[in-house]
Amino acid sequence: MSDIAVTLPDGSELSVPEGSSVEDVAYEIGPGLGSDTVAGVVDGELVDRAAPVHDGARVEIVTDQSDEYLQVLRHSAAHVFAQALQRLYPEAQLAIGPPTDEGFYYDVTGVDLDEDDFPELEAEMRDIVEADYDIERRELPREEALDAYADNRFKTEILDEEAAGDDPVTVYEQDDWRDLCRGPHVESTGAIGAVKLLSISSAYWRGDEENEQLTRVYGTAFESESELEEYMEMREEAAERDHRKIGREMDLFTIDETAGPGLPLYQPAGKRILSELSDYAESLNLAAGYDPVETPHLFRTDLWKKSGHYDNYVDDMFLLDVNDEEYGLKPMNCPGHATIFDDNSWSYRDLPVRYFEDGKVYRKEQRGELSGLSRTWSFTIDDGHLFVRPDQIESEINRIIDDILTVFETFDLDAHVALATRPEKSVGSDEIWEQSESQLEDVLDSQGMAYDIEPGDGAFYGPKIDFSFEDALGRKWDGPTVQLDFNMPERFDLTYTGEDNEDHQPVMIHRALYGSYERFFMVLIEHFDGHFPLWLAPEQVRVLPISDDNLGYAHRVKNELDGFRVEVEDRDMTVGRKIRAAHDDRVPYMVVVGDEEEAAGTVSVRDRFEDERNGVDPSTFRAHLEAERDEKRVEPDFVARSE
């Protein structure tokens, strides 16, 4: 038997016998690691420790100390829930039960469940955990598996479609219960230290509204009770920070079912914040040499067929008939930008050509997947497209990454990076995909950035570098992206004249600094808990006259702060109530004026931390506001800098 070479996380190569599994690789590294192996990551995909490796594979060993371990544990917790459910409700039919970023869910049918049933289910789950059943992987001939799941139409469909080429197929057993599954799982149910069921909702089989509606039960699991308690506290805080709740409290946006699902309407306060975000993105774009363009909301579907969207994205498009011609609301801005580029003649000296647009797009998400601003039918991408020579790829992507990291720094957000590779449904040759994936990988390596591999998560036309935001609660949200595209320039026959006076095909780079304004707005609302930095806050200063006698002076102070978003509180309330109201409205600064301040021509300044400075000259305060706004400081710091 010949040997093959696999690549380890440190970049070194290890020679192992052909046919080796992840666990075999671990034992080759060392017996201790072999015995600790729970699962593996092969070419970015989390797999069972028994999964085979191939020549050239990138292999990472997963132990109970690995970041991926919690995902494996939660997958096993989903099985514990399913076993408990079928113990209590034998008539329940199981669909699928994957792990998620925060726990797991299982889709079921044949049983009427609500959250009142959770205590009984959790007690049964704890019994299964305490029993510490071994979780054992079994292989079944495909026909035997079809017989075993003949009465479960969901598992049968999985066997007929997703696992049609697998022979044998895998199941995982614990005690007298089994589930069709590829894994991976922990060694025994006792490894699950704490479980909790969280919520219940409805879902469609395979996310298709034409299919049967199922009951989806969400839960979570951790290695210890203390970790679960910490998570539940974070979850309570997250509920308080929910952007939909804060959006109502601050009158930022509305989603009206009469107007249509997933179609946000922005109130004046919300639009002010979006305008500031747009102005900031525009300043970064102009400084980086981008030119603004604008494209319409819909095109003939001929354009979408030319770009490849019609074949690869039509199920997510809104289509309409106009005078017997088919049009589609744009799900992406790139075909329009490619058309603009194609309308001109270009020399190699002209490249790179960089376009940007705050482009409104429309994607027909499933109704059940719509959620506030995080997933909508209509959203705006701060889109940029570059047309570059092949020799410019690395330098341009490095500049884009620098701008993206500037955004993270400006908003005090942590970045997580991943390389997303070719999806199952895609266009272009293997050679083009291998080349573009390799180039993005080289850029990330040259930057010295830590990154994950996301197999199959690329765009249909090219691989991408995905950045996710980590907010104040440690949650991760999809954000900016950089996509390398050799396919669309070919489909649009885009050219430039090279130094040899021949036509050459440019490379197209897709990039966004925020991702979409809607999701980024959601992230900021929850990250800042509605306490926006001064430059973003819809109301930046509120002037609080102690009595009606001071209203005239309050308005003169407002006028001295011209250019800032300032309101005078003229309601009939005590000054204490006025301060509380401004605090509840999340105004960065309160300016209190009474007889003493009016006589001296000064103000008293309070910030959102309830720190106060008296006897302030309004011009001094204005100068500070200008600096804090222009430098885009995260927190109001007038009082702190004055101490």
Model confidence pLDDT, tens digit, residues 226-267: 999 999 999 999 899 999 999 999 999 999 888 888 999 999
Instruction: Determine the average pLDDT of the residues in 299-327.
Output: 90
Per-residue pLDDT tens digits for 337-357? 999 999 999 999 999 999 999
Over residues 435-464, the mean pLDDT reads: 87
Query: What H or E segment, with its residue span, contains residue 606?
Result: strand 603-607
Residue 39: predicted pLDDT: 95
Phi/psi at 472 (5° precision): -65, -20
What would the CATH number be for the domain defined by 3-62?
A: 3.10.20.30
Within 13 Å of residue 156, how many CA atoms lie on the same side as its CB?
9
Distance between alpha carbon 29 and the CA centroid of its chain, in Å?
Answer: 35
Compute the average pLDDT of residues 209-215. Answer: 89
Same fold, 69-240 and 541-642: no
pLDDT for 634 equals 94
Q: Where are the domains of the chain?
A: 3-62, 69-240, 263-527, 541-642
Q: Is the pLDDT assigned to residue 292 strictly greater than 80?
A: yes
In this model, does residue 163 exceed pLDDT 80?
Answer: no
Given pLDDT bands bounded at 50, 70 and 90, which one contains residue 1? Answer: low
181 annotated binding-site participant: no
CATH numeric code, 541-642: 3.40.50.800
- The per-residue pLDDT for 466 is 93
Encode pLDDT of 170-183 as tens digits. 999 999 999 999 99
Whether residue 334 is annotated as binding a ligand: the answer is yes
Q: Do the Cβ atoms of 327 and 298 come closer than 8 Å?
A: yes
Give me the pLDDT at residue 643, please: 63
Per residue, the 3-state secondary structure of 447-504, as one string, reads HCCCCEEECCCCECCECEEEEEEECCCCCEEEEEEEEEECHHHHHCCCCEECCCCCEE
Q: What is the mean pLDDT of residues 390-417?
A: 94
pLDDT of res. 385:
97
Report whether 510 contacts 385 (CB < 8 A). Answer: yes
Whole-number average pLDDT of the chain: 93
Q: What is the pLDDT of residue 432?
A: 82
Predicted confidence at residue 461, as pLDDT, reads 79
pLDDT at 318 over 80: yes
pLDDT, mean of residues 89-94: 95
pLDDT above 90 coverage of the chain, percent: 78
Strand 291-292 relative to strand 353-362: parallel, antiparallel, unpaired?
parallel
pLDDT for position 162: 65
Q: In the predicted model, is pLDDT for residue 312 greater than 90?
A: no
Alpha helices, H only, 324-452: 334-342, 393-410, 430-447
**pLDDT for the residue 550:** 96
Asked if residue 527 belongs to a known ligand binding site, the reply is no
The whole-number pLDDT of residue 259 equals 85
Average pLDDT over residues 294-317: 90
Range 69-240 classified under CATH 3.20.20.190: no
Q: What is the arithmetic mean of pLDDT over 610-636?
A: 95
Q: What is the mean pLDDT of residues 188-209?
A: 91
Report the 10 Å Cβ neighbour count for 607.
20
Structure tokens at 29: 């590294």
pLDDT for residue 586: 96
Q: How does pLDDT run across 18-71, given as a tens digit for each residue? A: 999 999 999 999 999 999 999 999 988 899 999 999 999 999 999 999 989 999
pLDDT at 462: 85
Residue the block writes with tokens 């729970």: 38
Local confidence band at 366 (pLDDT 50, 70, 90 cut-offs): confident
Q: Is the peptide bond before 9 cis (omega within 30 degrees of 0)?
A: no
CATH class given for the domain over 263-527:
alpha beta
Q: Per-residue DSSP letters for 300-323? A: EHHHHHHHTHHHHHGGGS-EEEET
Q: Reply yes or no on whether the pLDDT at 369 is more than 80.
A: no
pLDDT above 80 (res 427):
no
* pLDDT score for 14: 93
pLDDT band per the 50, 70, 90 thresholds, residue 5:
very high
Following DSSP, what letter does each residue of 241-275 receive, concatenated?
Answer: H-HHHHHHHTT-EE--TTT-TT--EE-HHHHHHHH
